[in-house]
Structures are given as structure tokens and as C-alpha cells.
Amino acid sequence: MGSARWSRIVLKLSGEAFAGGEGHGIDGAVVRQLAGEIVDARRDLEVDVAVVVGGGNIWRGMVGAGEGMDRAQADQMGMLATVINALALQDTLEQLGQPTRVQTAVHMAQIAEPYIRRRAIRHLEKGRVVILAGGLGSPFFTTDTPAALRAAELSADALLKGTHSGVDGVYTADPKLDPSATKLDEVSYLDVINHGLNVMDPTSITFCMDNALPIVVFDALHAGNLRRVLEGEDRVGTLVR
């Protein structure tokens, strides 16, 4: 058994991560891999884990807005998409024997609990994985912002941003477009903002900086990476602080 450098984390998973190579929908094998990594962190490393899920594999509000749909309405559809992913992750985690709770920022009592900070903390203390869906419950925000906000509210030690496209951290440029791009093992919040590095949206980066909340950007779909990040293995992901 190893030891983790943080005792409580918020893991941000984009909706596209749930789709695997398909780019849309939910890939059961991928969700099972992600769930297995979370169970490993919770049981073997005894880390409290809250997960914020996106919904881009089902619907992206910006796409709808770009096609003429009212932006607020399109974003509300995206919030509902995150709930679908949350329920899929919950079911897979519980198949693996891990107790969970889904909490949503949009009230839907027959499906999930409403997000209540103290209740979420109590679930974490009892060893449950808390899956947070519905974003902030308000349009015009990406799911990066609620991930940062929930991490601060739940007194998490770090925010882990899981990528899905094979990019294993933060680079000086887009490595898919620029072969000379180099991976950064560590970078400051200000450098991320000033150089427009593609980590999270600027609102969430600024929030993390104001609250001294470290961010780790890593490839969530590479087997074992979540554990490696938690154990502080060198050169896995990029630390932003």
C-alpha cells in the first residue's frame, strides 16, 4: 500500500472522457476503467474523492448556442447531460462495491440529492465517493468553474483535471499542432493566464490562485495515472500552483 500526498481531492472529468474513442455517447469499458481508478484511490490510498463530471459527450451548450439556440437554454441542456454521466459513473462504482452519492446543482429529487455542502462533506467522511453534477446550476459557466468552487467548498487539498485526448499535461503549445511543444512539469497560475495555456477556463484558474488550490492536469484515461498522481510520481501530469 502506498501513501497519498493529499487526503481529499476533487477529480474533474470531462464528458468526452466517458465517450472513449467514439467522441460521443458513453463507453462502458472506459467508465469502468475510470471507476476502477477511483475505487483504488479511495480504498488503497484512503483518499476522499469527489468527482465533478461534464456532459460534452452528450451535449455541449456552446454548440447549441452557435447554431442559434438561446445560450441559457442550451447550457441547461448541458447540465442535464452531466447528470446522465453521473448516474453512469455511480452505477459502475457501485458494481465495484464502492458506496456513492450523486448530488446535483439542479434539483431532481427522484434521481439525486441536491448539492448541500455539509452533506457532501459528511458523505466523504463516511468513505463514499460524491459525484457532483449539474455544474453550478446556472448557465454561462463551463464545468471547470464548479470543479474549482466545489474543491474549495469541500476543503479539498487539490483539484485534479483529467484529460481525455492523450495529452498528459500542460505544454508550451498544442502538441498535436506543434511538434516542438514541450511538456511542463510545473507551472504557475499567472503563467497559465498570461500565456493562455490550455489548462482550464480563466475563471477557474483565477479562483484556484485566489484560494491557493493546486491543480494537476493529467491523462485520466492512461491506466494507473490517478494513483501515480496521488502518490506524487515524477513527470506524471503538470502541477499548477
Between 233 and 22, the higher pLDDT residue: 233
Average pLDDT on 40-58 reads 95
Mean per-residue pLDDT for 124-130? Answer: 98
CB 113 within 8 A of CB 75: no
Q: What is the pLDDT of residues 64-119, one digit of tens each?
A: 878 888 999 999 999 999 999 999 999 999 999 999 999 999 999 999 999 999 99
CATH H-level, domain 8-240: superfamily: Acetylglutamate kinase-like (3.40.1160.10)
Break the chain into its structural domains and give their ranges: 8-240
Q: Is 90 exceeded by the pLDDT of residue 175?
A: no
**Cell representation of residue 97:** 462495491
pLDDT tens column, 61-76? 778 878 888 999 999 9
> Which burial class, exposed, middle or buried, applies to 222 when counting CB atoms under 10 A from its CB (0-12, 13-18, 19+)?
middle
Is 90 exceeded by the pLDDT of residue 178? no
Q: Pairing state of beta strands 215-219 and 186-187?
A: unpaired
- Choose among 229, 227, 46: nearest CA to 124: 46
For 125, 166, 197, 215, the CA distances from 187, given in Å and listed in that order, are 32, 20, 10, 10
The residue-averaged pLDDT of 4-32 equals 91
Please tell me the predicted confidence (pLDDT) of residue 228: 95
* Number of other residues whose CB lies within 10 A of the CB of residue 178: 11
